[in-house]
Structure 1
Amino acid sequence: MTTSSAERFTECWHAEGPRVLAYARRHIGDDLAQEVVSDTFLVAWRKWDSVPDPAIGWLIATARGVIRNRHRSLRRQHALEARVALLDQVASPDATESALVRQDALRRLAELSEQHREALLMTSWDGLTSEEAAEALGIRPAAFRRRVSRARASLNDDPSPPSPTPIPTAALSIEGIS
């Protein structure tokens, strides 16, 4: 950025910063408005050569995008908090055995190769059919089914304690983990 560009940016910051802040406050509140302004001007700094003059329209459009990203992030955070609260709610005090089985299942799943773990998770966790998962991985359905079969065999052949019985595939599903 040249000296004149830096000076123009500084002038823009002083002139338009308060307007962008007012816009952000209206849409996201006082708590996050300063962050929105900072992020907006960071984008402007990176793209300064392509920012039009006057910049206010471009800055507001950029601030809208930053705010949309913040809202998406907040929705994901709230959904996660709700899910954790739900899991906490349904966990009973005598869930120790279930927790140990779940912990063992997760440990054994983590020990699988990346290909085998992904194959199991795509079918058990993501709910994909063999054909859908094979398409997503770019392999034939028969190859995918072999991969799942080998993954399940690896899980059930694991000699390490403490699991006294083979882990059922249902233990790897959302219901089995939550």
Structure 2
Amino acid sequence: MSTHDHRDEFTRSWGRDGPRVAAYVRRHVPSADIQDVVAETFLQAWRRWDDVPEPPIAWLIGAARKVVGNHRRAAGRRTALTDRLVLLSSAAAAADDAGVVAAERQEALRVLAALPDEQREALLLLAWDGLTTAEAAAVVGIRSGTLRVRAHRARQALERGAGDRPLHVRPPRAWP
């Protein structure tokens, strides 16, 4: 692939996949750090563009996951339940047409934030980031069957946490 083609495909990926990577990162780092983490993720992609598969979204989210981990370690930051709730709440800012009562939304986010990290991550990669089971499993570095089990357990926990009320946690916006 020529340098020009390389640059064009990378630029298309930035425009197409950048918002999805940013949405993933938004759930894991404070808003002031989102641009830095996304930039570092795409810098890594640029350096290894010939090794990045098509479509690149699963690879990019996997790389972002590692950058987030490095970012947390470098900052010495330990995310507690309340920190995760704040991040999830800001990432799930209700749209005008969401029709979700604020109290229900907060309860849904509380239950979601209380899930074990690996279950919450599996569920959000599938439901929020729109990845396939295989793509989500590749991001986390596990088998597809293991990811399916984690997502299933997360859904069960959400249903138990909701009691007889359905939980309505929707992504911040639809992806093109």
Q: TM-score per shorter chain, which class? A: 0.3 to 0.5
Quick check: which one's helix share is greater?
A: 1
Task: Give the alignment's TM-score, normalised by structure 1.
Answer: 0.42
TM-score (norm 2): 0.42
Instruction: Specify the structure having the higher radius of gyration (Cα).
Output: 1
